[in-house]
Amino acid sequence: MCGIVGAVARRDIVPVLTEGLRRLEYRGYDSCGVAVLQYGVPRRVRSVERVANLAEQVDHAGLSGTIGVAHTRWATHGAPVTGNAHPIFSCGEIVLVHNGIIENHEALRKELKTFGYAFDSETDTEVIAHLIHHMRKQDPTRDLLVAVRRSLRRLRGAYAIAVFAKSDPNLVIGARAGSPLVVGLTDRGNYLASDPMALAGTADRFVYLEEGDVAVLTCDGVKIVDCGGEAVRREVQTQRASHHTTELGPFRHYMQKEIFEQPSVLADATERVQTLTPTLFGANAPHVFKEVDSLLILACGTSYYSALTAKYWFESIARLPTQVEVASEYRYRESVVNPRTLVVVVSQSGETADTLAALRHAQQLGHRHTLAICNVAHSSMMRQTDLQYQTGAGPEIGVASTKAFTTQLVALFLLAATFAQARGVADAARQAQWLEQLHHLPAALNGVLALEPQIIRWAEAFAHYEHALFLGRGMHYPIALEGALKLKEISYVHAEAYPAGELKHGPLAIVTNEMPVVTIVPNDALIEKLKSNMQEVRARGGLLYVFADEDAPLDDDDGVNVIRLPAHDGPLSPILHVVPLQLLAYHTACVRGTDVDKPRNLAKSVTVE
Ligand code: AGP
């Protein structure tokens, strides 16, 4: 989704701005731009092509300067055309980039037109630039900070902004409410970014702005005021934003690299756990765990599917009533609050607007106990919950989530097992068995990844279909949902997932000899039921593509394609079964020639509603 970089330094900041945009590319965007103050004049270059192309244009135009802002835009208001790309100018004086959505932009646009402002773009962002210009004109001191703060008070919606003015050649102002923004500190200048990864190699000391904060950056320092206008000090965090993790290495795409990183990231995530103890989830967890009698898990997309899988674990192994809800639905419905419920938000980025809003909604309703399960340590969700668990997948660049999903599953399984321990529903032998199964996961995953050549052969056939069904039962049903999501996201094949028992209640009507039906067949208690469901498909000529456990009792049958996974039983089976589905989606997309890591219309981190 949109990305921001801003800079004020004692050096030419253009290379930092363009490199920052390159590092934010993975988030998804459809246009980009850079603006600097050069010899006292704001100059900008914008493009609807990739950042590499923008960088060439910037070079060609000879852009340089010591203050500037840059942006990758993911279109919401107005088409992805150059005229709507940021930075946005107001009257050749104010230069601004913005992430988020201004909900009252129409009313503000009307009002600003009455003051004589002409609009050059269809964006909601342009109202902010004009508003700042207008507020500044009204103020005899012409103070940019005063104008920004007065303007922000008029905005409804979510924003992170970076702004500079022609007549203030030494400062850049950043502000946030609802969208993340971080300040990067160095001895030679100060920087802004929507994600610290943008500043890797430039800064390693960061200040995460809080809701409503406004930061004034000069070469020599940073002043922060809170939403009430009071000067505040925010903690400085030293954090080396990792370089190497964005290298592709021998892989064709980041998604493939990230699928193959799963054994090592899962090894890191599981090896550090040798006993089940609530403190894994924060210092206050032992106290909170005692009070909790149920769970409410809020998430979106793939993270929602990890939560759906975990519901089976929470109820079966921890005997804890668990409700899982799509965050964008929960935030707008009337719900009943049980103060003994632990609200868990699950998110790779920790910045997803709907999940963040659902968390705040739950807190406003009176939920006292909250836990974030996130991949990004200092993300908004991690900072707004009383308990935290970092999944440790490392940066995930591909828009389609893979290693972030399996590490979420590990975190959620650990949570379920820890609750089982804390609630006294699992004896020591059972706990030891779970830990052993967790520690065996990386080896088991290597066995599954070795199936790639067989999956590539399937993908060659699969790539010709326009529709597919995915079936699973029990805790593998959410895995079917995730498999279908992966396929549609990156290959654009229309895919739906059903609990296999639901087939006869409707979807069977679309099964013909043109319909591939991917079925997840673990060797568990439901296998005979699943075999009956597969017969229902075969009887209608449907083409079965079955991922079965090695020891699953299946008859060889004409027209049924089977790939056997290394034998594995126990509750962690979903973590193994999702991997071949990731590979199937990946290789199908490769055959179809799509932009695997940056699928159309999608963004890595969805920071707008
Ligand atoms: C996954 O492949 C998707 N790109 C998407 O569904 C994602 O999981 C969703 O937007 C939630 O993101 P989060 O985990 O960062 O909150």
Q: Which residues contact 532 (CB under 8 A, 6 or more apart)?
A: none
Within 220-352, where are the H helices? 254-260, 262-271, 285-291, 301-317, 327-330
Q: Which residues contact 134 (CB under 8 A, 6 or more apart)?
A: 112, 115, 117, 151
C-alpha dist (Å) from residue 36 to 33, 142, 163, 580: 10, 21, 11, 47
> Residue 32 catalytic?
no
What confidence score (pLDDT) does residue 28 get?
72
pLDDT, tens digit (0-9, with 9 covering 90-100), for 372-397: 999 998 889 999 999 999 999 988 98
C-alpha dist (Å) from residue 312 to 89, 155, 319: 52, 43, 10
Same domain, 113 and 151: yes
Alpha carbon distance 80, 31 (integer Å): 6
| CATH number of the domain encompassing residue 167 | 3.60.20.10
Same domain, 456 and 551: yes
Q: Which of 254, 304, 354, 606 to mutate to test the pocket of ligand 1 (most atoms within 8 A of CB)?
A: 606
Q: Are 340 and 356 in contact (CB under 8 A)?
A: no
Per-residue pLDDT averaged across 219-238, rounded?
Answer: 92
Per-residue pLDDT averaged across 178-198, rounded?
Answer: 92
Same domain, 563 and 427: no
Please count the structural domains in the chain: 3
Domain boundary among 442, 470, 490: 442
Domain boundary among 189, 214, 245: 245
604 Cα to the center of ligand 1, angstroms: 7
> Residue 604 catalytic?
yes
Per-residue pLDDT averaged across 228-242, rounded?
Answer: 83
Same domain, 206 and 354: no
Same domain, 10 and 60: yes
Atom 4 of ligand 1: nearest residue by CA position = 400
Same domain, 482 and 509: yes
pLDDT, tens digit (0-9, with 9 covering 90-100), for 459-485: 999 999 999 999 999 999 999 999 999
Same domain, 177 and 323: no
What is the DSSP code (8-state) at residue 508? G
What is the DSSP code (8-state) at residue 178? B
Give the pLDDT band of residue 450 (cuts 50, 70, 90). very high
pLDDT above 90 (res 1): no
**Residue 300 Cα: closest atom of ligand 1:** 11
Alpha carbon distance 308, 442 (integer Å): 23
Same domain, 271 and 238: no
Same domain, 206 and 276: no
Pocket of ligand 1 from Cβ distances under 6 Å: 300-303, 347-349, 352, 355, 399-401, 489, 605-606
Average pLDDT taken over every residue of the chain: 93
Same domain, 598 and 569: yes
pLDDT above 50 (res 243): no
Q: Are 13 and 34 in contact (CB under 8 A)?
A: no
Per-residue pLDDT averaged across 341-356, rounded?
Answer: 96
Same domain, 387 and 463: no
559 Cα to the center of ligand 1, angstroms: 35
Share of the chain above pLDDT 90, in %: 78
pLDDT above 70 (res 240): no
The one catalytic residue in 2, 219, 374, 590 is 2
User: Which residues span the domain enclosing 421?
Assistant: 248-442
Atom 10 of ligand 1: nearest residue by CA position = 301
The C-alpha torsion from 256 through 258 and 263 to 267, rounded to 10°, is 170
346 Cα to the center of ligand 1, angstroms: 10
Q: Which tokens sit at 13?
A: 């900041």
**Residue 485 Cα: closest atom of ligand 1:** 2
Exposure string (b/e) for 178-212, b if CB count within 10 Å is 16 or more?
bbbbbbbbbeebbbbbbbbbbbbebbbebbbbbeb
Domain boundary among 230, 245, 260: 245
| CATH number of the domain encompassing residue 359 | 3.40.50.10490
Per-residue pLDDT averaged across 489-506, rounded?
Answer: 94
pLDDT, tens digit (0-9, with 9 covering 90-100), for 524-542: 988 988 998 898 898 888 8
Q: Which of 26, 254, 303, 374 to mutate to test the pocket of ligand 1 (most atoms within 8 A of CB)?
A: 303
Q: Which residues contact 151 (CB under 8 A, 6 or more apart)?
A: 128, 131, 132, 134, 135
What is the DSSP code (8-state) at residue 362? H
What confidence score (pLDDT) does residue 45 get?
97
Give the pLDDT band of residue 587 (cuts 50, 70, 90). very high
pLDDT, tens digit (0-9, with 9 covering 90-100), for 313-326: 999 999 999 999 99
Per-residue pLDDT averaged across 19-43, rounded?
Answer: 91
